[in-house]
Structure 1
Amino acid sequence: MSAIPEAAAREAQAVAADVTRADARVIGDDAEAIEVARDLASAFAKEAAVRDRERRLPYDEADAFSQSGLWAITVPKAYGGAGVSFVTLTRVIEIVAAADPSIGQLPQNHLGLVDVIALTGTDAQKRFFFGEVLKGRRFGNGFSEKGTKNVLDLRTRVVRDGGDYVIDGTKFYSTGALFADYVPILGLDDARRAWLAYVPKGTAGLDVVDDWSGFGQRTTASGTVIASGVRVPAANVLPAYEVSERPTLNGPVSQIIQAAIDAGIARAALDDTLAFVRERTRPWVDSGVERAADDPLVLREVGRLHIQLHAADALLERAARTLDEIAAQPAPLTEDDVARASVAVAEAKVLTTEIALLAGEKLFELAGTQATLAEHNLDRHWRNARTHTLHDPVRWKYHLVGNYYLNGVKPARHAWN
């Protein structure tokens, strides 16, 4: 068996997912993407608390989301997509995540996988997979594993066998896999290089298990993916190792999407805080005011929360503009370009992480004891923030930023930077 295929071998016909949904809307530009996101968010927000409480998986909502065309907005214009800016992409994700962060998280890995295709795919692979994405097909993920030394320590194997690849391994934290048309699985070849096998749903040997029991992001179905002798043609396999071996924006892109989700969680928590304090909360007995909304100490904290959210949003937009500026350069990306992008995104991610957690906690302090009642399910904001921000530790973002500015050390290139 050969570990690494020739490029020509990957030009063979890819295996497509068997999908019965109608083709999706194709979004044309940035303004349309924002408009569609706002319309969807309004619908998704209506039963977000109920879905969380009952752990009702959002099958219909996932269909509406991908059928809207928003899962395809990063497909390059040369292949029929809108090729929206990173500023627009982060805004779209934040808008949807504020309505329901579990739904907002579903395309997180999908969008990163679209980027992998753009960076490493042959023209034939781009035409095929971008065509699928424009039709509304969804990528899940089979990346992380439990019980290994660290997130980059993989046991899953993706090994060449004639004209095919054979995949064996078990994955966890597989957000979106249950709703996916393709489950891209990350594994190592005989040379310990990482490959991504885009496995169509229903492929023999592929099993997606709904065993996610996290107390937050409850309806992302981020459970187990098992590949037992899964076989796909070489056309369905891409050299994932290339996105880290050479300078690319894949890591910063992955990270800025996560930061946008956290900003959405923060905004939702703060909006619910304001509504509860205005409508339900009693003023403290020593405040001397008739309404909790006039309590000077409450006003002080609400002001502080808004300032911190606005600061997080400003750094998020600054990071997105940095990515747009670097991506627009005619020259190939350099290590310095990628380092600058990673640091800008890390700075934003520090603030979006901290405001998401703070807003979820402060909600109860400001809204009062009644806000803890199960009927309101307001604890979902903190649970969602605490769960999603554990993707990578914010303490290492501080380290990354400080080491860059003080010592000129460039961040390591991987999906968490």
Structure 2
Amino acid sequence: MTRISLADVPAVTARLAQELATTAIARDRVGGHAAAERERIAASGLLSLSIPQAQGGVQADWATIYRTIRQLAEVDSALAHVYAFHHLQMASVLLYGRAEQHQRLFRETIDKRLFWGNALNPLDTGLTAAPVEGGWLLDGVKSYASGSVGSDRLCLSAHVKDAEGGAPQLLIGVLATRAEGVTVREDWDAFGQRQTDSGTVRFDNVLLPQRDVLLSAGAVQSTRATLRPQLAQLILTNLYLGIARGAFEAARRFTLENTKPWFTSGLPRTSDDPVVQHRYGQLRLVVRPAELAVDFAVAELQHALDAGDAVTAQQRGELAVAVAEAKALSHRAAIEVSNQLFELTGAHSTSARYGLDRFWRNARVHTLHDPVDQKLRDIGRHAIEGTLPTPTPYS
């Protein structure tokens, strides 16, 4: 893996974003697996940002990592999603794993330049695990496995039947994507986020060695471990915000370079029209609060992570509220800006060659990841009664 320093990150991210932007429209039309672009992401060295320095990584703070996600999402939210979910798996290893696993898995990721994918969705009960000598036997299917196509390693969740007839217990582990019995199907066919490599992963009697189990079935998660859903929610939030910012910038450029003023305005440029200026002002006031809320939530997350095992349930709950606010605002910004930009750029902007519709399609598909109404409910309950969200895989 290319070694970069923290000081290199802004320039490396800007260069990568520029490279992805040159092919983003064409790749969005085609969809499928962007193998060459994923290789370029891996070669950039940015996959090491979330890996501790002790294992050869950069160990950047999450504000830095989220900025790179947001910047890449401004030009290509699908590949930003794939990139972001690699970092989510690194966080999963860090939060759930043991010191030995940190050393082994992070070092291997650096030395072999591994790109991780996700098959960890506790609400998806399609994968079961049964105890066998030396580990667990996996059988079943995981859907919406972001980044699984073309990945080297997977974080996965499976359910173990309770011996006493109770509810199935959650098990979390890591596995090589090309392990015997693992099949990844390229069956993602949504109209947006078309290159997130979100395949369906089939496990046919696959051995998961005990040494690669991060969270044992029935184990009680620490408060620190329950920060993982907040990390994930802020990844989605920064993707939405990146889409909103990218759509705003694309509309601004189109207005300056490709539009003609309305014939009754008597103005030389569309950008001189007070109506157009007013509408851009409105959109800015949709994006700006989202930016502020996201930055605040990211700072709160970092404080909670820095507290380590001393993080409290109250701190975790207040973080969940901040993340819910940031996500709801970013959701709104992505949908509104990507939709309203056409009213500002006119009929000519709907030409397929400009690809402006990809912002709305990506936003519409991705913001359905989990219901924003559940976030608004959590915010409202906290505002009325001070009730903190109950920890779940999404809150």
Match status 1:103 vs 2:79: yes
Query: Offset of 1:368 from its aligned partner?
Result: 0.5
Q: Is the 8 A contact 2:84 2:235 kept in 1?
A: yes
The answer to which of 284-293 and 178-187 deviates more is 284-293
1 CA distance for matches of 2:268 and 2:58? 52
Indicate if the aligned counterparts of 2:287 and 2:330 stay in contact, CA closer than 8 A: yes
What is the alpha-carbon distance in structure 1 between the residues aligned to residue 172 and residue 45 of structure 2? 24
The amino acid that maps onto 1:319 is A
Counterpart of 1:66 (choices 42, 51, 55) is 42
- Answer yes or no: is the 8 Å Cα contact 2:241–2:291 preserved in 1: yes
Provide the C-alpha distance between the structure 2 equivalents of 1:367 and 1:244, rounded to a whole number of angstroms.
Answer: 53
Q: Does the 8 A contact of 2:173 with 2:215 survive in 1?
A: no
Structure 2 partner of 1:125 = 101
Contact (CA 8 Å) 1:174, 1:225: kept in 2 or not?
yes
Pairing partner for 2:4 from 27, 34, 41: 27
Q: Which of 189, 195, 200 is equivalent to 1:213?
A: 189
Shift of 1:412: 2.1
> Post-superposition shift, 1:232?
2.8
Is 2:118 the counterpart of 1:141?
yes
Indicate the SS of the match to 2:368: helix
Q: 1:319 is matched with which residue?
A: 297
Specify the alignment match of 2:141 in structure 1: 170
**Is 1:115 aligned to residue 88 of structure 2?**
no
Change (3 A) 1:325 1:174: same
1:157 aligns to 2:128 (yes or no): yes
Aligned to 1:17: none
Secondary structure of 1:140's match? strand
Query: SS in structure 2 opposite 1:341?
Result: helix
Deviations along 1:296-336, one digit per CA (max 9) or x if unpaired, are: 11111111212321221111111111112222236611111
Task: Give the residue type in structure 1 aligned to 2:230.
Answer: P
Of residues 254, 259, 265 in structure 2, which corresponds to 1:276?
A: 254
Sequence identity, in percent? 30
> In structure 2, what is the equivalent of residue 346 of structure 1?
324
What is the RMSD of the two structures over their aligned residues, measured on CA atoms? 1.9
**Alpha-carbon distance in 2 for matches of 1:392, 1:244:** 25
The TM-score, its normalising length taken from structure 1, stands at 0.88
Residue type of the alignment partner of 1:303: G
1:375 aligned onto 2:353: yes
Structure 1 residue runs of 4 or more that deviate by more than 4 Å after TM superposition: 240-244
Look up the match of 1:18: none
SS at match of 2:173: strand
Task: Name stretches of at least 5 consecutive residues in structure 1 with no aligned partner.
Answer: 1-23, 145-150
Aligned residues: 387
Segments of 5+ residues of structure 2 without an aligned counterpart are 163-167
Of residues 312, 315, 329, the one that matches 1:337 is 315
How many angstroms apart in 1 are the aligned matches of 2:65 and 2:118?
20
1:404 equivalent to 2:372? Answer: no
Could you tell me whether the CA contact under 8 Å between 1:156 and 1:188 is conserved in 2?
A: yes
